[in-house]
Amino acid sequence: MLASALQTVTPREKSGATTSSRFAFQAHVSLAKMLDLHDADTDFRALLDYYDDLTIFSDSTADPSEARFFQIKGKKSGSWTAAQLVKPEGKAPQTVVGKMYHHTAGFGASAAACTFVSNAPFSFTLSDGTKTTSDSVSVEFSALGKDDQDSFRKALDLDFKPPRSPDEASVLKFERTSVPLTDYEVFLRGRLVITVGDDTGIPVNALYRLLIEEITKRANDTSDCTTPSEIFGSKSFCRAELQSAISAAETRFSVLDHWAIIDEELKDASRSTKDRIRLRTSMISYVRARGKRDAAATALSAAARLAASQHVTDLDGTETLIAAGGVLQLNTVLPSQTPFSGLELEAAILVEAFEAIHG
């Protein structure tokens, strides 16, 4: 069903590249959503400014069976009320809630959710008679009180005559994003630190610019696409691409900037190709774990840095990183029950030795 819809459903009208603050907010909300899915170890493919501001396939990136649509709107002040979302204006679908629901016409049961996303809170009455608050970050249609539900249903009747399938209660959702309407650049840089860690040496600013440029490029692509592969190739960004960008940034930090020199040292020490590859991989894993504040990596790093501070002269007297690593490993008191040993411990110590020598 979804594969057929991707070939037949007409996307939103395109008017060329967009550089407005409205679109910039939309792009940053989209990136934040992707980072949330990445951090939850959820595979995904995101379509950018095509059927809706954001469309996410998270059950399969190659051959998805369901789609989640996100309409992203910024609001400078106040709350969103049901009255604002059901006000008729323009051509069909005439209301905001109608624009949300219209995806079901083309995608049917494959439309798993149609969500309205904003930085502003919602002012809805819930089924238990209470009002939503600024802490209500996710509200489903089925949780709304009868008056608000009836208001939304009457608005849908303007463009989608009942009975409707799927029922609006199963697909309509309202979500408050933590991305602010202003200073979203600063927010997303901070959000990236959560994903990559704040002690990795990864150039977060450069990674942020790369990701926003990729998202903007694909959102602004106006190529005519007639097949799912063409749509995915021109308009989408997936978890594998996000992870690839992060991994590429990781390999550009500190000690790995000098891997060619280190690799030559290892060759001179008669280390096998297999050992050298494993050592480099273990270095990356250690830095990643340390950046995410993994308890074992953090404890080992603290112990190694203490040893380095106590043996500055010995470290400065070494001529190779391997020799410096030997000095540091000899003098580091390993934390009790540390999981690091063998090659993984050597890799961690080499990272700490490099940073101790080069600041």
Q: Give the mean model confidence (pLDDT) for residues 66-80.
A: 96
Q: What is the mean pLDDT of residues 279-305?
A: 88
Tens of pLDDT along 243-261?
988 887 766 556 777 788 8
Question: What is the spatial distance between Cα 212 and Cα 189, in angstroms, rounded to a whole number?
Answer: 11
Distance CA 91, CA 210 (A): 37
Give the CA distances from residue 344 to residues 150, 151, 243, in Å, rounded to whole numbers and listed in that order: 61, 61, 22
Query: Residue 267, SS3?
Result: helix
Q: Is 286 exposed, middle or buried (0-12, 13-18, 19+ CB in 10 A)?
A: buried
Q: What is the DSSP string of 34-95?
A: HHHHHHTT---EEEESSSSSEEEE-S-SSS-S-EEEEEEE--SSS-EEHHHHT---SSSS-S
Lowest mean pLDDT among 107-116, 117-126, 224-233, 269-278: 224-233
Written as one string, the DSSP assignment of 286-321 is HHHHHHTT-HHHHHHHHHHHHHHHH-HHHHHT-SSH
Q: Please state the rounded mean pLDDT for residues 148-161.
A: 96
In the chain, residues under CATH classification 3.40.1350 are 2-238
Question: Does 227 or 256 have the greater pLDDT score?
Answer: 227
DSSP 126: B
Task: For residue 88, say if its preceding peptide bond is cis, omega within 30 degrees of 0.
Answer: no
- Can you say whether residue 267 is alpha, beta or left, with left for phi > 0 and alpha for psi between -120 and 50 degrees? alpha
What was the pLDDT predicted at 150?
97
Q: SS3 of 27, please?
A: helix
Length of the chain: 359
pLDDT of residue 200: 59
User: Residue 159 is encoded by which pair of tokens?
Assistant: 């463009």
Q: Please report how the helices 259-268 and 321-331 are oriented relative to each other, as an axis angle in degrees rounded to 10.
A: 80
Identify which of 8, 76, 47, 334 has the alpha carbon closest to the alpha carbon of residue 218. 47
Report the half-sphere exposure of 256 (CA within 13 A, side-chain side). Answer: 24
Q: What is the mean pLDDT of residues 121-149?
A: 96
Q: What are phi and psi of 238, to 5 degrees?
A: -120, 175
Percentage of residues of the chain with pLDDT beyond 90: 68
Instruction: Give yes or no for residue 17 having a pLDDT over 60.
Output: no
Where do we find the tokens 């391997």?
Answer: 322
Q: What's the pLDDT tens digit per position in 93-121?
A: 999 999 999 999 999 989 999 999 999 99
Domain 2-238 has CATH 3.40.1350: yes
Could you give the CA distance from residue 270 to residue 176 in angstroms, rounded to a whole number?
Answer: 57
Neighbours of 137 (CB within 10 A): 13
Per the model's pLDDT, the better-predicted residue between 14 and 261 turns out to be 261
